[in-house]
Amino acid sequence: MARAIEAALPHTRHRLCQWHIFKKVPSKVSIYNSNNKVRGLFHKCMRWCDSEEVFEEAWNEMIKEGNLHNHEWLQDLYKIRRKWSTAFNKDSFCMGILSTQRSECTNNVCHGISKPTSSLTDCFLGLEKVLMNWRRNEQDEDYKCSQSEIVPVIKNSSILKQAARYYSRRIYSIFEEEFIKAVGEMSIDFVSTDSSKYIVNYIEKKNQNHPWVVHFDATEGNIQCSCKKYETMGLLCSHCLRVFKQLDMAKFPEKYLLLRWSARARQVFYSGYFLNSQRSNNFQSGRGFIFRNQVSRFAYQMSTEAQGNEEAEEFILSSLQDMYKKLYLILGGKKRNQKDVASSQGGTANLKDPLKRRPKGISNARLKSHWEKKKRPKNKKPLVGDNPLEEPSSTQPSSTQMNFSSMPECFSEEYITGIPSCQPGAEYTKLMMDFLSSELEFNEFAM
């Protein structure tokens, strides 16, 4: 997967999920559960090291403290340290994301809405409720950001007022924590002669060996810290804010106000400003998707607001028709019917595929299911005498009797003797008389 990501997404960086690593450590490293110092050093190596030097010192101290020099799992983990430690990914914008979050959040949601006995319908209805709650919370947060005003913890601070007017509520709370830390915990140990380099440390000197170095260019308004929080998250760190406080700056440069964290980010995104800024920055990857999304959202918003007002609806429809005509003039194209007429006049015909016909042997009827294909048993007519409770009547002949009642009249004695024009021979007459006499005797015997 790592090689595929590198080939398909060359501008991205593949990292390992820290959540899964934390899940494996207790079973792989036994001393992790009993030694608090080893546990703290491992957490520091994962996410609290600002540089590679700090990571190496913390890792070596952890190995020495837990006597883990020959631990194979930790050795393999150390070989791929660039994929899981934040100290080696300070130059990539990750917004503070340290885990995949997608699968974990999905599992958490699914476990909350379903039970082992839940049906598929119950799971679907529960997921619908969760989505409705998410959308409602997002709408409430957007409403609060657009309608309510954030009150800074230090009301007379111009920097906090600037951040409160721009950032969303959640991002402002993070920025406010950094500002309070800068004012109450940080101090400046060294300032260069040209005021371009500052060394920032804690007031209590807890990080004496590795202080933070801040470079500031007053002419361009550029500031950069060794912790690289702005490069990874898009927010100014407490060290940069401490330098601004040292210089008595009323406001920090607006270039460090990231549009992603703005309270009006959605409004600006769909207003067209974002697309123009991306065009100016030569940002071509995904530009078509952003354009379609922006136009669709803008058209949907206009149609929703105009719904119910006839004048507004007619205005939108007429405007769209005018835009449609101007669009073809800009693109230099023609309508489809005009293009067809021009092509027919030029003598060139558009060849179309022949009509498709159904092959022989394939029916158009609906396919029958298994139960429909199952043959029904044929109804058999009951035979006479099948019912043991039914006795045969005396007038009904048995299966061994021969019924001569249906004999034709031409074989009767009266018919034969009554025909004057027909004179049968003596042998034929004798044969017929013997047959009739045998029939009478048989019937008398049966009676």
Secondary structure letter of residue 222 according to DSSP: E
Average pLDDT, the chain: 79
- Could you give the percent of the chain with pLDDT greater than 70? 70
Q: Indicate the helix (H) or strand (E) that contains 224.
A: strand 222-225
Beta bridge partners of 200: 188, 212
- pLDDT tens-place string over residues 301-314: 888 888 889 999 99
Three-state DSSP class for residue 374: coil
Across the range 92-98, mean pLDDT stands at 81
Contacts with 290 (C-beta within 8 Å, 6 or more apart), sequence order: 274, 275, 278
Q: Is the pLDDT of residue 421 over 60?
A: no
Exposure letters 401-433 (e unless 16+ CB within 10 A, then b): eeeeeeeeeeeeeeebeeeeeeeeeeeeeeeee
Secondary structure letter of residue 221 according to DSSP: T
Across the range 321-336, mean pLDDT stands at 78
| pLDDT confidence of residue 293 | 77
CA–CA gap between residue 334 and residue 321 (Å, rounded)? 15
Q: Is the pLDDT of residue 238 over 80?
A: yes
Q: Indicate the helix (H) or strand (E) that contains 243.
A: helix 238-246
- pLDDT tens-place string over residues 53-63: 999 999 999 99
Least confident of 14-18, 256-260, 270-274, 324-328: 270-274
Contacts with 339 (C-beta within 8 Å, 6 or more apart), sequence order: none
pTM, two decimals, is 0.61
The torsion region of residue 272 among left (phi > 0), alpha (psi -120 to 50) and beta comes to left
| pLDDT confidence of residue 400 | 45
Query: Between the CA of residue 230 and those of 94, 161, 234, 327, what are the distances in Å?
Result: 10, 20, 4, 42
- pLDDT tens-place string over residues 375-415: 665 565 555 444 444 444 444 444 445 555 555 555 555 55
